[in-house]
Amino acid sequence: MYRRDGVVMRLGLIITGVMIALSLAGSFVVNFFLTGKSWIHEPLHSSLEAMGSLAAVCLAILVLLLQRYEGFTAHRVWISSAFAAMGTLDVFHASVSAGAPFVWLRSIATFAGGFFFVLTLMRDRQVRPLVAFLPPFAIALSSVILGAVSAYYPYALPPMVEDGRFTAYAMAINVAGGIFFLIAAANFLRIFLSRGRPDELIFLNLCLLFGLAGLLFPASEPWSVDWWLWHVLRLVAYLIALPYLFFIFQRFEKELQKLVADLKISNEELEHFAYVASHDLKEPLLSVASNIKLLDRRIRKGKHEEAGQFIENSLHQLNMMQQLISDLLIYSRVGTQARAFENVSCDAVLRSALANLKISVDKKQAAITSDPLPDVMADPVQMVQLMQNLLSNALKFCEGRPPVIHVNAVKGEGEWIFSIRDNGIGIPVEHSGRIFEMFGRIHKERFHGTGIGLATCKKIVEHHGGRIWVASEQGKGSTFFFTLPIRHGKQS
């Protein structure tokens, strides 16, 4: 869901751009203006690393938790594992003083992080929640053991610094880790470009900085200015990733709450729908049953000549039921089988609706006129359904004179206001809300119908983000209004 979120996407692109620019500018300044400078400050270094490791652990947890919304995947499990390994090893790195374990712990943190990030190249697949939580926890635990052993048995470690310079071991581990990170960064870029997932940008950003830091490691010396620069850049990458993922997390939560609220409303609607539908469907069914009973009695008494009437009644009721069921189907499909909105000419919609109603228009000798109608972004099929329902009502609820109908549209504030005016029997003002409800028929005795047409119209209009209402004077006619928001796209 957040993939279509423009804010998340823009923010991701800006952060990535800023971070790349920052690292380039930083490298430029350090290499051209501060060459050969160094500064030994263990407490500051420990603080930076401690903050970084805390951020990495939080990221590991956040990446795991985010999967609750999208489903657990191997891809995300490896990312979480990478953060878990780096976070735990960096805790030890921050807590030991300069010496072999100090460089060793940072180097293996780079290597392990890069290694687990590179595993995201493997084919992605869905995993069960329990399986998803296992690798990051196991990796964090192993890192704790490795960190503790490294800190307590420093003499068992390969030499990392000799004569104030990094050894070949240190360089090899860091360069290998850096290469892993850069390969992973390329993969995140590929995923971002193909699937448009903005959070991949943040991982790309992180891997790029960690990768460059690893590759440039052989060129730096402990405590040199560029050594400090990469520490700061890595920390910034962490500290940016954290609120960004929180931001996505919060967007998911919001979306979820909206979905729950929508679900509640649709559940209530469904309950109401089931209640009225069963009531209105029962009516013709009961009538058929009583007709068959009467028919049975007549046949037993040998009065075959009266049977025709009961059969005719039953067939009429069954037709009624068939109509009800097909109208209910149309109604229920409005939300579920809607097509993507496209540019629709309402003049063409009116022509289609009139063509479908031609028999009725000719029979009633109706005069139908219209002003030029606009183009709108809508579902073309539903637009024809809407127009046809309103026109067929205007043709139907007219007694004693040929229907005179006029269709019009005017531009309101950010919306088009359509109107369909007739000279029919009109609607008592107290019923002007009820007619849009399911089975809200008010002229039951005089006109046949299912009472689903206007409910369907309301659902279509609301699906398009508009409103529908009626203004009427009994005996003089009605005007049905509906609005459609003016959306971006080709609309005139």
* Site residues (vs ligand ADP, CB under 6 A): 393-394, 397, 422, 424-427, 435, 440-443, 449-455, 478
Distance (Å, whole) CA 456 – CA 332: 8
Distance, CA of 237 to CA of 57 (rounded, Å): 14
CB of 396 to ligand ADP, least distance (A): 6
Eight-state DSSP code of residue 42: H
| Distance of closest approach, residue 239 Cβ to ligand ADP, in angstroms | 59
Cβ–Cβ under 8 Å, residues 177 and 131: no
Pick 255 or 437: Cβ nearer ligand ADP? 437
Classified as helix, coil or strand, 223 is coil
Residue entry with tokens 């690893």: 214
In whole angstroms, how close is the CB of 294 to ligand ADP at the nearest point? 27
Q: By C-beta, is 184 or 354 nearer to ligand ADP?
A: 354
Residue placing its CB nearer to ligand ADP in the complex, 45 or 441: 441
CB of 58 to ligand ADP, least distance (A): 56
Residue whose CB is less far from ligand ADP, 225 or 460: 460
**Rounded Cα–Cα distance for residues 132 and 116 (Å):** 14
d(CA 84, CA 143): 8
Distance, CA of 384 to chain centre:
28
- In the complex, minimum distance from the CB of residue 195 to ligand ADP, in angstroms, rounded to a whole number: 44
Residue among 167 and 392 whose Cβ is closer to ligand ADP: 392
Question: Residue 366 Cβ, how far from ligand ADP at the closest point, in Å?
Answer: 12
Q: How far apart are CA 108 and CA 105, in angstroms?
A: 5
Q: Which lies closer to ligand ADP via its Cβ, residue 426 or residue 485?
A: 426
Neighbours of 165 (CB within 10 A): 12
8 A C-beta contact, residue 208 and residue 182: yes
Nearer to ligand ADP, 22 or 404 (CB): 404
Is the Cβ–Cβ distance between 84 and 61 less than 8 Å? no
CA dist., res. 268 & res. 299, Å (int): 47
Q: Which CB, 234 or 441, lies closer to ligand ADP?
A: 441
Q: For the CB of residue 456, give the shortest distance to ligand ADP in the complex, in Å.
A: 7
Query: Distance between CA 313 and CA 295 in Å, rounded?
Result: 11
Work out how close the CB of 318 gets to ligand ADP at its nearest, in angstroms, rounded to a whole number: 17
Min separation Cβ 443 and ligand ADP, Å: 4
Burial 463-490 (b: 16+ CB within 10 A, else e): ebebebebebeeeebbbbbbbbebeeee
Q: Tokens 């997390």 map to which residue?
A: 249
Report the C-alpha dihedral over residues 463, 377, 421, 449, rounded to 10 degrees: -40
Give the residue with the Cβ less far from ligand ADP, 67 or 389.
389
Contact between 94 and 46 under an 8 Å Cβ cutoff? The reply is yes
